[in-house]
């Protein structure tokens, strides 16, 4: 999952160490830091979006149905969404393997 393009040789460094592509940190998957992952119970969910607004990793996006789902490529598994969910619809499950 981890990518290796963070390693840059001196020959390929840009002038003044400018980064030419805005927001290119999306290429770096922080999901492999995770030891537990949020699992949503859609029956309890009221689509309030608390998980979305309180996510420090901008992992949550709204699906067409209106539910909020975490992108596992960026979710670091901090558990803020599960802790702040007003209906306790999100459960943190330990990652295995």
Partner 1 sequence: MIPEFEKFKGFKAKSIPKDEPLASGHRACQGCGEVLALRMVMKALGRDVIVCSATGCMEIISSPYPHTAWRVPWIHIAFENAAAVASGVESARKVLKRKGKIPKRHVDIMAVGGDGATGDIGLQWISGAFERGHDFLYVCLDNEAYMNTGVQRSGCTPYGAMTTTSPPGKKSFGQVTWKKNIPAIAVAHNIPYVATASPAYFLDLMNKVKKAALVKGPAYVHIYSPCPTGWGSAGERSIEFAKLAVETRVFPLYEVIEGRYIMSRKITKPKPVTEYLKGQKRFRHLDEGHIDYIQKRVDVEYEKLLRLAELT
Q: Among residue numbers 19 through 48, which ones bind partner 1 (CB under 8 A)? A: 19, 21-30, 33
- For 48, the 3-state DSSP assignment is coil
CB of 5 or CB of 96, closer to partner 1: 5
User: Ramachandran region of residue 49, left (φ > 0), alpha (ψ -120 to 50) or beta?
Assistant: left
Out of 40, 51, 68, 77, point to the residue binding partner 1 (CB under 8 A). 77
Tell me: does residue 57 bind partner 1 (CB under 8 A): yes
CB 72, min distance to partner 1, A: 12
Long-range contacts of 47-52 (CB under 8 A, 24+ apart): 48/86, 48/87, 50/81, 50/84, 50/85, 50/86, 51/81, 51/84, 51/85, 51/90
Instruction: Confirm or reject binding of residue 67 to partner 1 (CB under 8 A).
Output: no
Q: Does 83 bind partner 1 (CB under 8 A)?
A: yes
Report the residue number, 21 or 96, with the smaller CB distance to partner 1. 21
Binding status of residue 90 toward partner 1 by CB under 8 A: no
């Amino acid at each position: 999952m981890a990518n290796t393009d963070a390693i840059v040789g001196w020959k390929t460094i840009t002038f003044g160490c400018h980064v030419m592509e805005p927001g290119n940190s999306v290429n770096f998957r922080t999901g492999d830091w995770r030891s537990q992952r949020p699992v949503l119970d859609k029956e309890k969910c009221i689509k309030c979006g608390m998980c979305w607004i309180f996510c420090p990793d901008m992992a949550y996006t709204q699906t067409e149905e209106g539910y909020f789902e975490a992108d596992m490529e960026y979710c670091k598994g901090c558990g803020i969404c599960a802790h702040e969910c007003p209906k306790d619809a999100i459960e943190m499950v330990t990652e295995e393997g």
